Structure 1
Amino acid sequence: MQKLFLDTRKLDSSCCFAYGLTEEIMMENAASALESKIRLHADCGSKIIILCGGGNNGADGYALARRIRLDYEVKLYKCYEPKSQCCITQAERAEKCGVPLLDVKRFPLGDLRNGAVVVDCIFGSGFRGELEGESAEQIISTLNDVNASSCYRIACDVPTGLRQDGTVCDYTFAADLTVTMGALKMCLYSDKAKDFTGEIVCANLGISRSLFENSNKENLESAYLLEKEDMVLPFRRKNFVNKGSFGSAWIASGEKVGAGCIAARACLKFGAGLVTLIRPEISFSKADLIDLSVEILTAFEFGERVDCVAAGMGLGHNEREAKYYFDYLRKHKNVSCVLDADLCYSPQIKVFLAERGEGCVLTPHPKEFSALLSVCGLGSYPVEECVNKRAELIEKFCRAFPGVVLLVKGSNPMIGVYNAEKGFKLYINRFGRPSLAKAGSGDVLSGMITALLVQGYSTIEAAISGSLAHAFASHCFKNDFSLTPTSLIEAVGQLE
């Protein structure tokens, strides 16, 4: 996994102090990184359009223009006049090298034709609010024109319009490639950023990334970006085993019986030794158990061996039935649980989590997360706010319920956990695909996490590996519209 930082400006300063670097050295390396990407994507003589702001991000653009001046048809448009000393100096150098410094107010649409590359060096990281100044309207118009064109788009550090909190403006630069400087910024991995960052690469600024990230001893990282290597699949290493060696999972079936059936099938597919679908007599649903594999057992009450209970998927808002599962889990504290969907609306969940803590994984989507925060007395947050402030609200929840693992679904699912010894940890899974936006795909995830829990994974290990496996299984589809829960479950078997 890789470290993510909310703000890297302290790291910039620390590097200068710790390693004797200067802003100019770091800037030259930033420009070099941009240059290398341009040379990969554009033939000599191609048109390169650079949009420059007045700060150090703009300075990177001026330095880039100077470096590639003779090999490409470079057009540099000033969105703001140079303000920082580095930007002023770099602008002077670029002009002396013959780079034409043009006013963005004279930006012609014709420049976007014939395979041009556009480099966004307007703001970079730290952007908040909206574009301001007398040129703002023209800059917005230019960004919209660039986004509507077929040109290749490169963002320097962070696309303009992507705010530090991960929210986006209507006119955000839609990059095909983002070259972020020094270290990865957390805003690049928000749900809303995913349509604007393109491929993300991290450029060194004169020292290795590891040295850059560790130049400040304050542990400034805000989260961790998960990698494929963090996924641990439940391969079977021993031969002298039986079904009991791989755990007994119990999946609650409720009002919408299909949800429990999907979770049960996913659980079995992902390695659980025994999977039982439970529907107690108090369940108000008497519907037939549709599409249930003959490999799944059914029961009206819990048996002797229960390693994990998954409940909430299609359960319905029946508080008697919710109480049945909460009471069982209270009495059997050694049994882990995955709580999803309808149980996030139950007023009983607050007391249960306060009592249990350890051994629980919650997997709400943003609307369910909004309800969960409310019933737990942590505040009333509209769904949009739960998306925009997801990391902040996950931390708030996890600190209120130490030991509970919270996975909030989204384009980039986030997983949080807090304990007194290690503090709060947040993990982001960037591998999700739009193909997963189908009813039932969340039930598959709940079943997969349950499978890992009964096979001996810790709650945080199960949430991380289950989320990654769920995402990578979605990569197996040629057409992103064709995924169904059933086909997703089958794709789990192709993971390696």
Structure 2
Amino acid sequence: MQKIFNDCYALDARCYEKFDLTEDILMEHAAMGLKRAVEAAAEPGSEVLIVAGPGNNGADGITLARLLHGDYEVSLHLPYGAKSPMAKLQLQRLQQLGVDAMHTLPAHADVIVDALFGAGLSKALDIKGIEIVDTLNGMGGYKIACDIPSGIDPEGNPNPIAFHADKTVTMGALKKGLFGDFAKQCTGRIEVADLGISRKLYEHHTDLFMLEAKDFNPPRRTNPSAHKGNYGHLCVVAGKKKGAAILCGSAALRFGTGLVTLMSDHTIESIPHSLMLSGELPESTTAVAMGMGLGHEYDPILVKSTILKNDLPILLDADVCYVPWIRRLLNECSKTVITPHPKEFAALLKTLEIDEVSVSQIQRDRFGWARRFSEVYPDTVLLLKGANTLIAHQGTIYVNPLGSPVLSQAGSGDVLSGLVAALLAQGYTPLNAAINGSLALTLAAARYEGADYSAIAEDLIGELRWLVP
């Protein structure tokens, strides 16, 4: 798990004040991080184009040009000149080596480094900036972004377009703007460059965190005399679309739940032999999953009353975001996870009378809306699905950036519900269930070896058997 910050200005200032590190020292280390990225991408003698802006992001790029000069064929382009004191100083140093900026972009480069604006971009790109970024995106060669791809705003949105990097070398610490859903296609692989001091000392308190594969903590069976009753009993409420409940239940069973029962008012044909079927909530139930394929008209009165009476852990998804009785469940259930996608989340905010917003508004400020929901319902764990899944609880947000296009299939959300509910049934806290269920889904997708368009929900369930940390 790594820390994420809105920006690093306060962290830099702390280095100056507490550790007597100068802006110059931090910049040299930033440029060394970029240099290592170039060296990993291309052999000495390769053509490297550095496009640098007028501020300190550009100064990082100018410093990189100095470090690479002599080993690589370096071209530096300064479309806005050098305006900040550090940019002017670094350009002066580079010129002492006999190197000056080019007035036009070359037609080709083996490596292209974007050091135009980075995290300091506070307004939309101007016409010149749009043209430059568009030209760089159209060029061949390996692309590296300095700090954050130019054009990405602090919330992670292209403004209006952004540089598409194969790798982003971000300076000092991870920034929130790197983890917007729209930013994911622009950042490529993200690496953090240390700035002359350990990240443990550079970073301080934050309420944003990035999840990693090594954070995955699956259910383990260490008791040699255990039986199925030791591993929980999940009840999945089946509504209008029975297939969604079957996928949810099958995923839960594969993820270690001892028993899984589908609850339905009607007979369900051809359910897997390992799943049970009941017309009422089993007495041994340790968690409930509800919402996937439920239908907006379905009102599970018996289930609701039993859940409220016994304060059972509950996973809520999909259609429950549209029904008025969701408010009572969220107000009275203390162990709840809700897992909407953006459209369902917009409906949920409206149903709960928090606000009325569009899906596009949510997507452009995912962190902000997740935080707002969490402030109103601090005891509910929100898992907001997306390219970068957000998990919000009591003022803290965790980002799972490990998702891939493999998951862009019908049913993957039902599998996720089953994974989270399985852990609730086995005694995980709602937050840990959401974190580990989300990681399990993305790690299963990463293991899938077929074409990325070909995975179906059953394939993801099958991959779960190999997730041994």
- The count of aligned residue pairs is 467
Indicate whether 1:117 and 2:111 are aligned: yes
Contact map agreement 1:309 1:337 (CA 8 A) in 2: yes
- Letter of the structure 2 residue corresponding to residue 140 of structure 1: I
Please name the residue that 1:227 is paired with.
212
- Letter of the structure 2 residue corresponding to residue 118 of structure 1: I
Indicate whether 1:367 and 2:352 are aligned: no
Listed one character per residue, the Cα deviations across residues 239-296 of structure 1 (whole Å, up to 9, x for unaligned) are 111110001110011101100011011111111001000013xxxxx5x625510111
Indicate whether 1:68 and 2:68 are aligned: yes
Listed one character per residue, the Cα deviations across residues 125-179 of structure 1 (whole Å, up to 9, x for unaligned) are 13133123xxx43x32232122122210011111101111111134311011111
**In 1, Cα distance between equivalents of 2:268 and 2:122:** 51
| Within-5 A mapping of 1:425-440 | 425-440=396-411
Which of 383, 400, 407 aligns to 1:407? It is 383
**In 2, Cα distance between equivalents of 1:351 and 1:254:** 20
- Letter of the structure 2 residue corresponding to residue 120 of structure 1: D
Indicate whether 1:484 and 2:456 are aligned: yes
How far is 1:319 from its partner? Answer: 4.6
Q: Secondary structure at the match of 1:405?
A: strand
Contact map agreement 1:232 1:465 (CA 8 A) in 2: yes
| Within-5 A mapping of 1:22-101 | 22-101=22-101
Q: Which blocks of at least 5 consecutive residues in structure 1 are unaligned? A: 281-285, 419-423
Indicate whether 1:241 and 2:212 are aligned: no
How far is 1:84 from its partner? Answer: 1.1
How far is 1:327 from its partner? Answer: 2.5
| Within-5 A mapping of 1:144-163 | 144-163=134-153
RMSD, matched Cα: 1.3
- Letter of the structure 1 residue corresponding to residue 313 of structure 2: S
Please name the residue that 1:129 is paired with.
123
**In 1, Cα distance between equivalents of 2:203 and 2:242:** 49
**In 1, Cα distance between equivalents of 2:303 and 2:345:** 20
Contact map agreement 2:125 2:160 (CA 8 A) in 1: no
Q: Secondary structure at the match of 1:368?
A: helix
How far is 1:391 from its partner? Answer: 1.1
Indicate whether 1:343 and 2:320 are aligned: yes
Please name the residue that 1:192 is paired with.
182
**In 1, Cα distance between equivalents of 2:141 and 2:94:** 24
Please name the residue that 2:294 is paired with.
315
Contact map agreement 2:50 2:61 (CA 8 A) in 1: yes
Indicate whether 1:328 and 2:328 are aligned: no
Listed one character per residue, the Cα deviations across residues 358-382 of structure 1 (whole Å, up to 9, x for unaligned) are 2000010000000001111110010
How far is 1:332 from its partner? Answer: 1.8
Contact map agreement 1:58 1:121 (CA 8 A) in 2: yes
**In 2, Cα distance between equivalents of 1:128 and 1:327:** 51
Q: Secondary structure at the match of 1:101?
A: coil
**In 2, Cα distance between equivalents of 1:111 and 1:299:** 66
Contact map agreement 2:108 2:139 (CA 8 A) in 1: no
TM-score by length of 2: 0.97
How far is 1:55 from its partner? Answer: 0.5
**In 2, Cα distance between equivalents of 1:385 and 1:351:** 26
Listed one character per residue, the Cα deviations across residues 64-121 of structure 1 (whole Å, up to 9, x for unaligned) are 1111111111111012121111111111111221223123xx224x234xxx211111
Q: Percent identity?
A: 40
**In 2, Cα distance between equivalents of 1:324 and 1:439:** 29
Q: Secondary structure at the match of 2:392?
A: strand
Contact map agreement 2:322 2:344 (CA 8 A) in 1: yes
Q: Secondary structure at the match of 1:102?
A: coil
